[in-house]
Structure 1
């Protein structure tokens, strides 16, 4: 038996070591916590693709009141980051770029690219055309993308190019740097492209080390320069570092606290060692199983796993109580058989509580459920089959005095709340709880799950304000059966967005159709020119000649029109251009999740609570369009599952009662279940009185209160019913089990993750009330210790 457990431990430990030796299995992507919330799988795919496209950059803003210092410091920072090899590429200075490339790219398609204003001009009279031509010839020169007069006599292409959202920010190019000016401050943008995923720990460490080195060098050379940074890599590293700190603090404090408690009660380092052997087996096997099933281990699971120590050690504590109570008549196998019924019922209720978590929509909660189920089952199995082979010798001493004090306190406490008085206690607690229940309020905000580093949020705000970019997480997803269908639907959507007025209006939007109109739009524009401008070539040639164009220039333009019939701009042509790279995320292309579907996104600018309802109305009125607000979607899902959680909890209470009825009969089952029922009610009432808004995680924690808190009444009832059992020892074991569990779960309150804080607060209060009311489950028919001792002597 010992050899079998040793092989299991070695296999699990070697697998964990192998996984952690390679690419880290830790999942630091905060979005991995979130469920699929969009009804359209293409929209959910868009969320992932957009996050991936925008998440592989690290953005740094170098600022100073001296413009020369800001530019010099940005150049130095770019050189340091580039030399660190922590980035695939670093852009501090924009390489020379011929803007004429953009003009030359669009020139073959010029006759299908008209602005709304130019459509009105082209469809007008000859006098209107003459005026447009005069304005082109004698008007002020265009500061944007210019087109040759011979290739664009009326300036229609030049007007269309002016509408390209190439500079949708406050940035301008000065001396090769991307510069933003605000008041007296000059800020220079430095962008680094990551060599891998922002959620890989090696990438995070390399980036953080390089940035820290660069900032230190800047401080030495330019004391007046400040650096602000933003990017998914910084948030992911912050979350990983905070979670690792949580694991260390919770794990170490829990382990030390549990060891000291057990040493005070059992006065045996050997028993402490065996208790941690059982717990370590549970944790290692849980780690291995979770990584085997899910492939990745989320930080939330790891932090919660550190708190599982207190629950996993409960099973060995119950076995130690029997061991110390037996003294010279000790038989390790018989001792295991004596605790088997209590541990089996306790394991069943705990597994039920964690099994319910597997139905929650959040991937991290399913991981936690898998981790806990494997961990506590392994701990249970090790107590039943491994510890008896390691504890064959009887105990040398037993804490008789402590057990006697515990027995006396249990007798007094049971006399106060047990027997027929239990119903009076229950009634009083319910009466006191009702006002608290009536004050319960909920809060389903997604930020209860994810809390970003405030320092990074402040720096992100500095970068956004300087650049002038809107970091709105809301966007439209437009899907269709072909790229052309997507482009047409996108144009319809943009037209409706442009029609919004007043409080519903947007400040703008980004769309792929700003760069590539639909084929239908291009052909319509060409047809308009063919019907009104080029229908009479002689009149058009005369118009151009009167304006001063040479005949050969006018004929060249007319020939270009004649040969442009098949010239249609497609998305793939635009994507092939190097300068389209900053905007390629607007085109999602062929869907991976839905065969035969194509998609694009439209990112609105200036989204607010005032205009969001109008945006939703626009999406609902547009075929193939959905409005994605991931935060709001998850918050709504929080609310739905919180409401369903009440039903889950009621169902779980019923299942636990049925399970206990099978063992104790219906009267005994009610007596054993009553403490944990009251604990759940008191916990909810306390939240109401304290005006703590409850959320899904509070209700899920109450599931665990049900699974774990029911154990204490079970341990007491089973221990009191065992022949020659010492009630003082049993009560001591129950209190010690509760203390270790409280110590572990209570430490979750120190976690940096708000979700785990909710877990910890709910579990701690619920378990505390459960153990205090546990004596209600001891039936009055079981003989007291005094009668047991007399029977033992007889």
Structure 2
């Protein structure tokens, strides 16, 4: 006997050591990941899936996001012009000194605009504006003479001017004047970018500052440095200029706000869940040791889930982090079921036998939960895949720890037996099961169905992505202020133009531009657009322009030379200009434009080489560009979509609309998956409990799903994908309660009062943790939490329906369940 005890003790120590090693490895890995660059993903776009059928369009979304992601814009506004400018200079100097930014541009560096003209000057004979094309099509000697006279005696005054000797007719100068370089309300004053506005209180002056980040806007280190630098700089600024207002815009501010909000929610949800669960377990078990062991099992599940998620995905999304804090309530369920068996056994406790007793119930419960979470792995949303992985690893680890670790830690018999509590619970269960179970179950189901039908008929859905990703309201207001001052539209829709060659892309972009120009003056017009062809015409267009000049202007070189000399040009100037046209033509190219430093703010318009998505060329190399229209509204968007459909190689991209559409498609699919999973769970339970028992055990969670949907309908709440995904988890979690009761009835000498106590406690912890998600500022998690709380509450209330008839009072409590007063005296 002593040898058996020694062997058992050694085995217990081996199990403890193995779990300790696992916990240390997982904790050390998580600590190592968080010690370096933060693995927390704060980019809201990273939560969204690839929605575009064309991968080139998806690349365009990423390119535009990254092009703007490392820029930060600040707007300093005052009613005193001098104060605004002085404050902007002080703010820029403070931010540059802080080291939080790679560069801060307040005063514009000296730049000779003639550099732009010099870039295009060698290619001037292929560059003609629309007005000059029209004028030259029907040109006559008189027309050319008038053009020359206007150029000489009324030169265009501006920065983008050309030398008279190089551009005697002004064609290049007028073409340069059409470049979309100044598309805002900003003017240059004292080397500052300034916007003047007038409102009801008077005139205001706003000065724009542009800063670039030293790293990614989604790195925690960068966010904290920027936050601290701005807080210090603005504090000093308000002391010197009390009348000042500073508005900011940039991805780093949204990322920092999202990260801070998620950290607050993790603390609130985590601490509240822990405290609530601890109080509930202490009230029921009256044992700090059991409380500690329960949290050991839960902590193992959480830390292993965190390590696995980081190992598999590399990053941790905000949704996963906050959801992980709520998983405490489900992970502790398995240990609770083990503890009620432990307390019910009294002095006859045997740890291994106790594990064998709860294994069937926990196994079935784990299977149903894994089925619910597995659906999240199927949905193509990165954050939901992470949540599914996190939850599955967490609850599987908690399950394993209950079966193998807790028996090694909980070897001594309990010092007390909460007989009074268990007897009272048995009496309550008997009364409740009598009201719901047996033949009455079908009557209850029918009544609930009748009550639910009107609610189901009132159900509506809304898949708008904007309702599910909530941005900080104050930052949105500040960004709107910046955009209003600058005069830039807040449009996230654009065209992607692709082709097999660079030339094909440019020609198609020109065709698109012509269609957009044709919309002007109609109800579907846009307020202009940005396109690479405004800077780099296609070789075909340049060739056509040169051919037009050759036909209409240079067809008689002698007469043209005489016209120039008569206008006062020197012989060598006229000969040089005529000789320049006679040289073999070389078209201006995209590569030449990209090499110019001043093209940097517009380089996102050219995507360059990409994988072609055209038919039968999926692996070929192609090229692509984007065209960004201004003033896209719900009214003119259908016309823009139709316009894109009518042009080869052109697609209209609206990321928000694409995601919303995908949300709707997966919401419908998830509804079908929910029905299929319910049927699968029913079949699995029928294999274990028989046909009648399987249906009865499935009925509570089925009714829970139906009642939750009806409540949403009566409340007038719109459903989205996250509500339906939460219903999948209601199925996974809610089915456990009926299973626990059913398995308790199947165990010899089981105290159903103890089992029912464990079920109620499990439901209470789940409601506490998942219900806390209902207060989340993240609309997606709020939908999750509200739906889970409703479904779990109904599932636990209806769980006794799944009990076999005649088993309501259990075996050990059956004799006294109907006489609670006698039971209390006996206890």
- Residue 371 of structure 1 corresponds to which residue in structure 2? 390
Q: Deviations along 1:176-218, whole A, 9 cap, x unmatched? A: 1011111101100011101111000001111111111111111
Deviation at 1:662, TM superposition (A): 1.4
Deviation at 1:53, TM superposition (A): 0.6
8 A Cα contact 1:63 1:225, kept in partner? yes
Structure 2 residue 41 is matched with structure 1 residue 13? no
**1:79 counterpart (87, 93, 98):** 93
8 A Cα contact 2:498 2:624, kept in partner? yes
8 A Cα contact 2:64 2:604, kept in partner? yes
8 A Cα contact 1:228 1:459, kept in partner? yes
8 A Cα contact 1:144 1:162, kept in partner? no
Higher mean C-alpha deviation, range 571-580 or range 375-384? 571-580
CA distance in 2, matches of 1:788, 1:772: 21
Structure 2 residue 161 is matched with structure 1 residue 142? no
TM-aligned CA distance change 1:595 to 1:73, over 3 Å: farther
Deviation at 1:642, TM superposition (A): 0.9
Q: Deviations along 1:451-503, whole A, 9 cap, x unmatched? A: 00000000000000000011200011111112111111111111111111411
CA distance in 1, matches of 2:191, 2:808: 90
CA distance in 2, matches of 1:278, 1:566: 77
What secondary structure sits across from 1:96 in the alignment?
coil
**1:186 counterpart (205, 220, 231):** 205
Deviation at 1:142, TM superposition (A): 3.0
Deviation at 1:781, TM superposition (A): 4.2
- Residue 145 of structure 2 corresponds to which residue in structure 1? 130
- Residue 448 of structure 1 corresponds to which residue in structure 2? 467
Deviation at 1:524, TM superposition (A): 1.1
CA distance in 2, matches of 1:722, 1:609: 63
Deviation at 1:532, TM superposition (A): 1.4
CA distance in 2, matches of 1:223, 1:785: 75
Deviation at 1:544, TM superposition (A): 1.7
- Residue 561 of structure 1 corresponds to which residue in structure 2? 581
- Residue 744 of structure 2 corresponds to which residue in structure 1? 719
CA distance in 2, matches of 1:276, 1:403: 23
**1:542 counterpart (562, 575, 580):** 562
- Residue 677 of structure 1 corresponds to which residue in structure 2? 702
Deviation at 1:382, TM superposition (A): 0.2
What secondary structure sits across from 1:527 in the alignment?
helix
What secondary structure sits across from 1:504 in the alignment?
coil
Structure 1 residues 39-188: aligned runs within 5 Å: 39-123=53-137, 124-139=139-154, 141-183=156-198, 184-188=203-207
Deviation at 1:790, TM superposition (A): 6.6
Structure 1 residues 546-695: aligned runs within 5 Å: 546-563=566-583, 565-591=584-610, 595-695=620-720
Higher mean C-alpha deviation, range 202-211 or range 279-288? 202-211
Structure 2 residue 336 is matched with structure 1 residue 317? yes
TM-aligned CA distance change 1:78 to 1:342, over 3 Å: same
8 A Cα contact 2:74 2:249, kept in partner? yes
Structure 2 residue 517 is matched with structure 1 residue 498? yes
8 A Cα contact 2:512 2:647, kept in partner? yes
CA distance in 1, matches of 2:261, 2:814: 54
CA distance in 2, matches of 1:509, 1:283: 50
Deviation at 1:618, TM superposition (A): 1.0
8 A Cα contact 1:315 1:343, kept in partner? yes
What secondary structure sits across from 2:142 in the alignment?
helix
Deviation at 1:62, TM superposition (A): 0.5
CA distance in 2, matches of 1:276, 1:671: 33
Structure 2 residue 805 is matched with structure 1 residue 780? yes
What secondary structure sits across from 2:588 in the alignment?
coil
- Residue 334 of structure 1 corresponds to which residue in structure 2? 353
Deviation at 1:231, TM superposition (A): 0.2
Q: Deviations along 1:604-625, whole A, 9 cap, x unmatched? A: 0111111101100111111111
What secondary structure sits across from 1:591 in the alignment?
strand
Structure 2 residue 548 is matched with structure 1 residue 528? yes
**1:748 counterpart (754, 773, 777):** 773
Higher mean C-alpha deviation, range 374-383 or range 145-154? 145-154
Deviation at 1:67, TM superposition (A): 1.1
- Residue 821 of structure 2 corresponds to which residue in structure 1? none
Deviation at 1:398, TM superposition (A): 1.4
**2:266 counterpart (240, 247, 255):** 247
CA distance in 2, matches of 1:7, 1:322: 28
Q: What is the TM-score when the length of structure 1 is the normalising length?
A: 0.98
What secondary structure sits across from 2:470 in the alignment?
coil
- Residue 16 of structure 2 corresponds to which residue in structure 1? 2
Q: Deviations along 1:527-582, whole A, 9 cap, x unmatched? A: 1111111111011112222323232221121111112x232111111111111111
CA distance in 2, matches of 1:630, 1:398: 60
Deviation at 1:789, TM superposition (A): 6.1
Deviation at 1:665, TM superposition (A): 1.0
Structure 2 residue 508 is matched with structure 1 residue 508? no
8 A Cα contact 1:505 1:611, kept in partner? yes
TM-aligned CA distance change 1:789 to 1:693, over 3 Å: closer
Q: Deviations along 1:744-771, whole A, 9 cap, x unmatched? A: 0000011110000000000000000000
CA distance in 2, matches of 1:658, 1:8: 36
Q: What is the TM-score when the length of structure 2 is the normalising length?
A: 0.94
Structure 2 residue 491 is matched with structure 1 residue 476? no
TM-aligned CA distance change 1:147 to 1:786, over 3 Å: closer
- Residue 698 of structure 1 corresponds to which residue in structure 2? 723
What secondary structure sits across from 1:503 in the alignment?
coil
Number of residue pairs the alignment of both structures matches? 791
- Residue 10 of structure 2 corresponds to which residue in structure 1? none
CA distance in 1, matches of 2:565, 2:631: 47
> What is the RMSD computed on CA atoms of the aligned residues?
1.4
CA distance in 2, matches of 1:511, 1:200: 32
Q: Deviations along 1:391-416, whole A, 9 cap, x unmatched? A: 11111001111111111111111111
Deviation at 1:675, TM superposition (A): 0.3
CA distance in 2, matches of 1:98, 1:437: 68
CA distance in 2, matches of 1:116, 1:658: 72
What secondary structure sits across from 2:621 in the alignment?
coil
8 A Cα contact 2:426 2:813, kept in partner? no
8 A Cα contact 1:171 1:180, kept in partner? yes
Deviation at 1:788, TM superposition (A): 6.7
Structure 1 residues 142-291: aligned runs within 5 Å: 142-183=157-198, 184-291=203-310
Q: Deviations along 1:12-34, whole A, 9 cap, x unmatched? A: 00100000011111111100110
CA distance in 2, matches of 1:142, 1:74: 30
8 A Cα contact 2:730 2:792, kept in partner? yes
What runs of 5+ residues in structure 2 fail to find an aligned partner? 1-14, 613-618, 817-825
Structure 2 residue 426 is matched with structure 1 residue 407? yes
Higher mean C-alpha deviation, range 115-124 or range 295-304? 115-124
Deviation at 1:520, TM superposition (A): 1.0
Higher mean C-alpha deviation, range 276-285 or range 617-626? 617-626
CA distance in 2, matches of 1:639, 1:789: 51
CA distance in 2, matches of 1:731, 1:310: 17
Deviation at 1:643, TM superposition (A): 1.1
8 A Cα contact 2:751 2:811, kept in partner? no
CA distance in 2, matches of 1:382, 1:266: 20
- Residue 3 of structure 2 corresponds to which residue in structure 1? none
- Residue 401 of structure 2 corresponds to which residue in structure 1? 382
8 A Cα contact 1:720 1:730, kept in partner? no
